[in-house]
Chain A
Amino acid sequence: MNNGNIFLDLLVRFAPEGTPSWLLDLSAAGVGVGILVAMVSVIAMFCVWMERKVAGHIQCRYGPMYVGGWHGWAQSIADGVKLLLKEDMIPIGADRPLFVLAPALVLGSIFAALAALPLAPGVFFADIDLGLFFILAMSSMTTIGVVMAGWASASKWTVYGAMREAAQVVAYEIPLGISLMVPLIVAGTFNLNEASALQSGWYGMHWYIFQNPFVLPAFALFFISALAETKRAPFDLPEAESELVAGFMTEYSGIRWSFFFMEEYAAMFLMSVVAAVFFLGGFESPFTSLARDVFGEQHFLASLTAGLVLLVKAFGGIFLMMWLRWTLPRVRIDQVMTMGYKYLTPLALLCVLGASIFEALWLGVA
């Protein structure tokens, strides 16, 4: 379970003798992708319900209460069925192939990025040495999908949304990458599994934000940039429902529209897990180290506790994003640009400089 791909291990155990290895690899990849897609769909549906509940309670109402009985838990399932059955419209003036390709591209690239996430110690879809780099590369491809959707729809609102998306993402990719360099300096690895394991110790509180004084401001910068990258309020200018109808996805309907929605929640989950792993200790917490002491290092329950701790941290991040969305007003596009280029980028560079000097002088790592 701890060396390599668990799906491949399981398949090798049950496959008949003499199955060619490429077929095993291919089916392991297929099983992995199937589980990943199912997992992300469930997370996205839960997030939609959670968003509506959070929004409701922030605005002194209840949110969905009826479908499914307990606090409207089945509301997202009902919505999903409705979206599947809705008419799929493509405008006559639209660039048909690109219009169809755009949602698939957006969702496909975010799934590719999610494949690099660890689920529990030793449980992962793909153990990539350059995991973080891979995640950044893949999630940057969603921009192209959004621009494609906006342009292919051939409408003023969508093109404006696409222009804003392109400008905003190019501006915020820089502080996002640079602020992630700060914990990378402390960790010394791109691999998410290794980076998480390096934070054990101090009874599970040896998190990167406590290891170096410059990681905490870098975390703030990362979080703001991640909000802009995932098009969440107060940076939801590509959608901007009060000025651009629905921005780049105005012309989409039914299941294609829901792909964009799923991408938004999948991206929030992705950014929250990256934040948890590279700033907030990953799997490590006092509970994790307690579970390790009680059950033993390799025990199933210890791994489960670690996975749950990561999940709780990820949903904490998602809750924070929702809280901000329903609290803060949207900023203007020029304010977005000013903030990205004039404040976040120089501050992130300062953090990198400070963290490097701290590592070199105080800790003696030359």
Chain B
Amino acid sequence: MEPASRVFYTLVTLASLLALGWGAFSAGAPGVSFALFAILTLGGGLMCIWERSVVRSAFSLMATFLGVAGLFLLLGADFLAMAQVLIYVGGILALILFGVMLSPPDLNERSLPRVLGGLAFAGGAAIWLGLRISASVTWATAEELPPMTSHAEEIGVGFLSPEQYVVPFELAAVLLTVALVAAVYIARRRSIDLFPEEDA
């Protein structure tokens, strides 16, 4: 491993341990699970932008998707969490990997000013946003949260009842179908233009 990566991953590991300890100290078992999923999400994201190989970046996205699914689960959104894993990990990530798997790694040197500038910008934005949010939101503690229940039936009824979301739901379905048909149409046209001799 190159020295810059060694420093980067040491810092990430230290920050993760700090977050775990802080979660355990401040909120016990729920704090630990939140810290774990947050570390997965942020660590995957950081690794995704740090790694020079596109495929490694794509694989690290899996940690992010799983972490987000875990956070949904902690919020009581079980359907959303499983849909996140099924669609993003099973479908979209597989497609991304299919697309980038044969691309070579980027062997250019990392430039130190750009890395430091990016870190400074991200850190500043995180501190500013954190201060703004913590000033305006009152958080519920773990004891005040409602018990975990499944919301699948609620979601189904909401999507299919005429009083609620059936029209936007169907419109979204029509939009996706149009996009799908259009994609197939464009792909077909291009292949005919590229190989005109095949028409004969």
The chain A residues found within 8 Å of chain B, CB to CB, are 22, 25, 95, 98, 129-130, 133-134, 136-138, 140-141, 143-144, 147-148, 151, 159, 162-163, 166-167, 169-170, 173, 190
Contacts and interface: CB of A to CB of B under 8 A. Distances in A.
Q: Which of A130, A159, A163, A167 has the most CB of B within 10 A?
A: A130
Interface stretch (B78-86, B110-118, B191-199): B78-86
Contacts of B62: 141, 144
12 contacts: A95-B56, A130-B152, A137-B90, A140-B85, A140-B86, A140-B91, A141-B62, A144-B59, A144-B89, A148-B59, A151-B55, A163-B101
Nearest to A146: B94
Given A98-B56, A130-B152, A170-B95, A151 B101 contact: yes
Contact of B94 (A22, A95, A136, A144): A144
A166 B101 CA distance: 10
> Size class of B's contact patch?
20 to 34
A140 B101 contact: no
Majority-rule SS of A interface residues = helix
B137 interface: no
B14 interface: no
Majority-rule SS of B interface residues = helix
A129 B151 CA distance: 9
A173 B56 contact: no
Nearest to B101: A151
B29 interface: yes
A195 to B, nearest CB: 13
A147 B152 contact: no
B107 interface: no
Q: Which of B83, B85, B95 has the most CB of A within 10 A?
A: B85
A190 B79 CA distance: 11
Contact of A166 (B29, B85, B97): B97
A130 B150 contact: yes
B93 interface: yes
B140 interface: no
Contacts of B135: none
A143 B90 contact: yes
Nearest to B150: A129
B26 to A, nearest CB: 15
A169 B55 CA distance: 19
A140 B83 CA distance: 11
A52 B196 CA distance: 52
A159 B86 contact: no
Given A147-B101, A148-B59, A159-B102, A137 B86 contact: yes
Contacts of B97: 144, 147, 151, 166
Interface string B18-34: 00000000001100000
A140 B56 contact: no
B84 to A, nearest CB: 8
B98 interface: yes
Q: What 7 pairs between A and B have smallest CB-CB spacing?
A: A140-B90, A129-B150, A137-B85, A137-B86, A22-B29, A166-B98, A137-B82
A191 to B, nearest CB: 9
Given A129-B152, A151-B55, A143 B94 contact: yes
Interface string B35-69: 00000000000000000010110010010000000
B101 A162 contact: yes
A130 B90 contact: no
A159 B89 contact: no
Nearest to A101: B59
Contact of B85 (A22, A141, A169): A141
B56 A169 contact: no
B85 A190 contact: no
A5 to B, nearest CB: 14
A147 B93 CA distance: 11
Contact of B86 (A95, A129, A136): A136
Contact of A129 (B28, B55, B59, B78): B78
A147 B85 contact: no
Contacts of B152: 129-130, 133, 190
